[in-house]
Structure 1
Amino acid sequence: MSSVQKVRAAHLDVPENKHRRRGSSVGLINLGDTSVPGFSTMKVSASQRDRLEARMRELSAESKSDGAILRKILVAYKELTYRHSWINPFIVLVAIVGTFFFGDQKTTLHAYLEKLLVVSYHIEGTDQYGKGVNDFYFVGFYALFFTFFREFLMCCVLRPLAHFLGVKKAAKVKRFMEQTYSMIYYGLSGPLGLWVMSLTPLWFFETTPFYLDYPHKTHDFYFKVYYLGQAAFWVQQSVVLVLQLEKPRKDFYELILHHIVTIALIWCSYRFHFTWMGLAVYVTMDVSDFFLALSKTLNYLDSPAAGPFFVFFVFVWIYLRHYINIKILWSVLTEFKTVGEWELNWDTQQYKCWISQPIVFGLLFALQLLNAYWLFLIIRILYRYAVGGVAEDDRSDDEDDDEPSETKKDI
């Protein structure tokens, strides 16, 4: 076998007998935001495989000149960063952080980098932070951090873990990696959101404080870091989704709409001081997404607990995504106008008024409609599981259909 053939064999995961996967669909449903692909799980085209083989041939060729050696180093670096997609964002992060901590702190560059790394607008003599344009820099930098964090976990932790746990097929490995990463993120952000909520009068999903103490123009350090960190995560997720690094799923347009609504809610709630309401919505989404990702991961591992856990997940989803969110919607209809001040005043930044009420309700209602669509799909799978009927979810692409075309990057 030639060196090129060996590389191709190492990179391709082709099953001996290709057939459609016919197993339990419990946990398979691709809904919400736990299936967003990244660079390490992107679909690999035939042209990309051809370029891979061309790089391998070039690396295997004899180098007789300095120029050829330099060219080979550049090709090797390109191949390395293709296999380890976390390297480039890591280099950028190290350059920024290193310059900030070890460079001249009196320069304009240092002041600019401080906007990226550190939350701005601390109010002297208090534990509160205001808001401003510097927050965009903070969100942008940590969106880059989440790109690195996701790709590093995928390449160096989750792919080896998948093989260790017996997940072999390339497409299934990718799905496992996506869901396990989602478990890690939501497993951190969900409890953190609940903790931040516990420090406010909102506990446990109280709605009256949304309006009683409005406007919430300042926040403590933990609240602001949590809120902007969530914004950074969603920005990174949205960019990845729009780039279509993987063949779009059947609910691609629903996901696009979901991300548009989510980003709009984040920006509007932050700019117009409805952040306490935003915090409650964040928590309902993150906690339910954690259980969704865990349910799907158990399915990829063929765990006997996948079915019973899916049933438990359904109750969590209905409680958080529907009961709590409908409670918030109802408060917008009933308390938004009657609790606290009701006027539009740009000077005092009082925006709880006749124009903001329909906007807030409209965005939250759009989110609820998307959740209702996904609930329909969940109930359909639950029914099939209960009656022992159809084995797969007909709204999701078959995971093994394009298995031979998937590339498995070596560690």
Structure 2
Amino acid sequence: MATGSGSEPFPPLPGTTTTESVTATRRRTRKASILGDDLKVGDTGSPSLATSIAHIQGAHSKEPLSPLSAKRTSKRRKARTLLRRIKHTCVKHTWVLPAFLLTCFLLGYAANPTESNPLSHFIFLSYKLPADDPSQEYVQYGKGLWDIAFVTFYTVVLSFTREFIMQEMLRPLSRWAGLKSRGKQARYMEQMYTALYFGIMGPCGMWVMSRTPIWYFDVTGMYEGYPHKTHDGAFKFYYLFQAAYWAQQAIVLLLGMEKPRKDFKELVGHHIVSLALIGLSYRFHFTYMGLAVYITHDISDFFLATSKSLNYVDHPITGPYYFLFMCSWIYLRHFLNLKILVSLFNEFKTVGPYVMDWEGGSYKCDLAFWITGGLLGSLQALNLFWLFFIVRIAYRFVRDREASDDRSEDEGSEGEGQEGEKNGNGAAKRK
């Protein structure tokens, strides 16, 4: 749409207008990624408070105080102003509230740093068992309701670390990487944090597995010695810490703090199935099976998150790395998980006791078979759903080598859109 020169007090020179309009047009229609897709697949798309739409809008919606209200000195006005400032700080720096909660917990424990303090159950593992057998290599821990307190506390811990790392470390990194729009910065921060988390927890999971009878994904070891009612400290901490991670992800996701993506229902379903597997496997002593499922998803999520991050910054190795990710996804989430699923029809019934005994803590029976099979089957179906899109993206990349980004108009920040209009300077808009 062209604008007449009479509407501008200082109309642009003809040569300048043409150059700037072409520049603005190119900015709008540039290629946004090497793969030409946002890679909205997998379970690494859960938002954080810092990158949610509510935060992006709320961080800049501070109400300015009028000169008249600023002069009023009533206690009610001061209280409202203070609350407004606190609210603005918590919205702008979303790690402040979880940091405050953690400080309260730690101060409460510091007042009486003993096991008699109930807060110790939130911070440290509970149900430590006496070492009756001198030949026992590791100290064992039992299970109980206080484990829920442990998961709750570390859900807050992970909320703090996620928000703090993303805002104070990854946002500057996203700007340094050349990402201008707030939307792309948000997605880049989310994926980089996910890659950082699983880059640590993946190797930790393999180390924990190496100390168990199921190394390397030995399905027979998952059922030998069942029921597995006790574990060493490293195993229990890893299992419950991972439960806290998935709980934190699910809470923020279900709060609806970002615009739902196309596979939002599948993503929510994946979180529900994952939390059900975590809770039931821990309660009914199928934790060795749960550990294997943890690891296969953690490592594949690391490759998925790093692949997305490379795609956002248009890195030249994005294509080959995406192929590496696709191979890891197929091997970990399908080959190994199908191996675990098939074991339900073989080793699950033949290795170890196959009986329902509530008093003895043995729950390996027909009911457990159907529940476990249903949950693992649902998880496999969701992963196959995402595999279809993963393969389709790879096919389009091989076919087209580079594709235009259909999301450029929707995902640009307000600042970029306004800048494009100003630089266009009234030139005709190209389609």
- Taking structure 2 as the reference length, the TM-score comes to 0.83
2:276 paired with 1:272: no
Deviation string for 1:349-388 (max 9, x for gaps)?
A: 1111121111111110110000000000000001011111
2:383 paired with 1:375: no
Q: Residue 282 of structure 2 aligns to which amino acid in structure 1?
A: Y
- Taking structure 1 as the reference length, the TM-score comes to 0.87
The size of the alignment, in residue pairs, is 385
1:53 Cα deviation from its structure 2 partner? 4.4
Further displaced range: 350-359 or 75-84: 75-84
Q: Which residue of 2 aligns with 1:65?
A: 73
1:112 Cα deviation from its structure 2 partner? 2.0
Q: Which residue of 2 aligns with 1:88?
A: 97
In structure 1, C-alpha distance between the alignment counterparts of 2:401 and 2:207, rounded to whole Å: 42
Larger radius of gyration: 2
1:330 Cα deviation from its structure 2 partner? 1.0
C-alpha distance 203-152 of structure 1, shift in aligned 2 (>3 A): same
1:58 Cα deviation from its structure 2 partner? 5.1
1:19 Cα deviation from its structure 2 partner? 3.9
1:35 Cα deviation from its structure 2 partner? 1.3
Q: Which residue of 2 aligns with 1:4?
A: none
In structure 2, C-alpha distance between the alignment counterparts of 1:280 and 1:219, rounded to whole Å: 15
Q: Residue 192 of structure 1 aligns to which amino acid in structure 2?
A: C
In structure 2, C-alpha distance between the alignment counterparts of 1:379 and 1:159, rounded to whole Å: 31
In structure 2, C-alpha distance between the alignment counterparts of 1:399 and 1:294, rounded to whole Å: 21
Gaps of 5+ in 1: 1-14
Equivalent position SS for 2:348: coil
1:75 Cα deviation from its structure 2 partner? 2.7
Q: CA contact under 8 A between 2:213 and 2:222: conserved in structure 1? A: no
2:369 paired with 1:363: no
Q: CA contact under 8 A between 1:183 and 1:290: conserved in structure 2? A: yes
In structure 1, C-alpha distance between the alignment counterparts of 2:211 and 2:67, rounded to whole Å: 57
2:241 paired with 1:229: yes
Q: Which residue of 1 aligns with 2:130?
A: 124
Further displaced range: 273-282 or 73-82: 73-82
Q: Residue 176 of structure 1 aligns to which amino acid in structure 2?
A: Y
Q: CA contact under 8 A between 1:96 and 1:113: conserved in structure 2? A: yes
Further displaced range: 84-93 or 32-41: 32-41
In structure 2, C-alpha distance between the alignment counterparts of 1:358 and 1:251, rounded to whole Å: 27
1:77 Cα deviation from its structure 2 partner? 2.7
Computed over aligned residues only, the root mean square deviation of the Cα atoms, in angstroms, reads 2.6
1:163 Cα deviation from its structure 2 partner? 0.8
C-alpha distance 56-119 of structure 1, shift in aligned 2 (>3 A): same
2:212 paired with 1:212: no
C-alpha distance 273-26 of structure 1, shift in aligned 2 (>3 A): farther
Pick aligned residue for 2:327 from 315, 318, 324:
315
Equivalent position SS for 2:365: coil
Pick aligned residue for 2:47 from 25, 37, 41:
37
C-alpha distance 212-27 of structure 1, shift in aligned 2 (>3 A): farther
Q: Which residue of 2 aligns with 1:249?
A: 261
Q: Which residue of 1 aligns with 2:63?
A: 55
Gaps of 5+ in 2: 1-22, 133-138, 417-431
Q: Residue 232 of structure 1 aligns to which amino acid in structure 2?
A: A
In structure 1, C-alpha distance between the alignment counterparts of 2:389 and 2:203, rounded to whole Å: 27
C-alpha distance 385-150 of structure 1, shift in aligned 2 (>3 A): same
Q: Residue 102 of structure 2 aligns to which amino acid in structure 1?
A: L
Deviation string for 1:59-86 (max 9, x for gaps)?
A: 9974453645554443333222221100
Q: Residue 268 of structure 2 aligns to which amino acid in structure 1?
A: I
The alignment-based identity, stated in percent, is: 44
Q: CA contact under 8 A between 1:158 and 1:180: conserved in structure 2? A: yes
Equivalent position SS for 1:161: helix
Q: Residue 267 of structure 1 aligns to which amino acid in structure 2?
A: G
Q: Which residue of 2 aligns with 1:12?
A: none
Q: CA contact under 8 A between 2:183 and 2:413: conserved in structure 1? A: no
Q: CA contact under 8 A between 1:29 and 1:393: conserved in structure 2? A: no
C-alpha distance 399-185 of structure 1, shift in aligned 2 (>3 A): farther
In structure 2, C-alpha distance between the alignment counterparts of 1:289 and 1:406, rounded to whole Å: 32
2:182 paired with 1:170: yes
